[in-house]
Structure 1
Amino acid sequence: MSGFVVGRRTALALGVGGAASLAFPAWAQQATPAPLDTAVDTIVANFMRAFETPGIAVAVVRKGQPVWLKGYGVRTMGRAAPVDVHTRFGIASNSKAFTAAALAMLVEEGKLGWDDRLTQHMPEFKMADPAVTSLFNVRDLLVHRSGLPLGAGDLLYFPRSNRTVQDAVRALQFLQPVRPFRGGYDYDNILYIVAGALIEAKSGMSWRDFIRTRMLEPLGMADAVPSLELLKTTNVAGRHARLGPPVRGVGPMQVIEPDESPVVDAGAGINASIADVAKWLEVQLALGALPNCKKLWSAESAAAMWSPQVVVASSDGPTDLNPVRSIMQGYALGWFVQDYRGRRLISHSGGLSGQVTQTALIPSAGIGVAVLSNTEDSVSGGIRNALLDHLLGVPAYDWVANYVARNKLAAESAVAALGDGDAQRPAGGPSLPLAAYAGRYRDAWYGDITVKERGGALHIDFAPHPQFASRLDPWGTDAFRTRMTPGKGEDAVVSFAVANGKVTGVTMKALSPLADFSYDYHHLAFVPVVE
Structure 2
Amino acid sequence: MKYLLLAGFIITTLTVRSQSVVSLADSIRRQYQIPGMAFAVVSSDSVLACHSIGVQRMNKEYPVKAGDRFHIGSNTKAITAFIAALLVKENKLQWNTTFLSMFPELRWRTRYVYDTVTLANLLTFRGRVQGYTYTSSTPAFTDLHGDYAAQRKQLAANFLTQSPMKLDANKMTPSNVDYIMAGLMLEKAAGKPYKELVADLGRQLHIDFQFDYPNLKDTLQPWGHNEQLQPLRPSVDYKMNWLLAAGNINVSLEDYLRFIQLPLKGLKGKSALLPQQTFEQLLYSMPVFSYGWFNETDQETGHHIAANEGNAGAFITKVQVIREADRAYIIFTNVSSAAAQEGIAVLLKALSVRYGR
Give the TM-score band, short-chain normalised.
0.7 to 0.9
Deviation at 1:39, TM superposition (A): 4.6
Equivalence for 1:383: 347
Q: 1:217 to 1:127 in 2, by over 3 A?
A: farther
Equivalence for 2:6: none
| Aligned AA (1:286) | K
64-73 or 340-349, which deviates more: 64-73
Measured against aligned partners, the alpha-carbon deviations of 1:222-247 in whole angstroms (never above 9, x if no partner) come to 3x2145599633442111123xxxxx
Instruction: Find out whether 1:94 has 2:75 as its counterpart.
Output: yes
Deviation at 1:129, TM superposition (A): 6.8
Question: Among 182, 197, 203, which residue is 1:217 paired with?
Answer: 203
Kept in 2, the 8 Å contact 1:89–1:272? The answer is: yes
Q: Which runs of 5+ in 2 are unaligned?
A: 1-14, 145-150
State the distance in 2 between where 1:161 and 1:41 align.
47
TM-score by length of 1: 0.56
Instruction: Find out whether 1:277 has 2:256 as its counterpart.
Output: yes
SS in 2 for 1:388: helix
Deviation at 1:347, TM superposition (A): 0.9
SS in 1 for 2:225: strand
Question: Among 177, 181, 202, which residue is 2:164 paired with?
Answer: 177
SS in 2 for 1:261: helix
Which structure has more RCO (C-alpha within 8 Å, separation ≥ 6)?
Answer: 2
Measured against aligned partners, the alpha-carbon deviations of 1:134-191 in whole angstroms (never above 9, x if no partner) come to 2211101111223345547962789987742122111212333342599812321111
Larger Rg: 1
Equivalence for 2:317: 357
Equivalence for 1:236: 221
State the distance in 1 between where 2:215 and 2:193 align.
14
Measured against aligned partners, the alpha-carbon deviations of 1:35-58 in whole angstroms (never above 9, x if no partner) come to 652453243223212222110001
Q: 1:205 to 1:190 in 2, by over 3 A?
A: same
Measured against aligned partners, the alpha-carbon deviations of 1:104-138 in whole angstroms (never above 9, x if no partner) come to 11111112111223322222455987332222111
Equivalence for 2:232: 256
TM-score by length of 2: 0.82
Instruction: Find out whether 1:332 has 2:290 as its counterpart.
Output: yes
Equivalence for 1:304: 281
Q: 1:152 to 1:48 in 2, by over 3 A?
A: closer
Fraction of identical pairs, as percent: 20
State the distance in 2 between where 1:85 and 1:229 align.
14
SS in 2 for 1:276: helix
SS in 2 for 1:239: coil
Q: 1:92 to 1:58 in 2, by over 3 A?
A: same
Q: 1:123 to 1:181 in 2, by over 3 A?
A: farther
Kept in 1, the 8 Å contact 2:213–2:223? The answer is: no
Question: Among 312, 333, 356, which residue is 1:373 paired with?
Answer: 333
Deviation at 1:98, TM superposition (A): 0.6
Tell me how large the CA RMSD over aligned residues is: 3.2
State the distance in 2 between where 1:139 and 1:176 align.
20
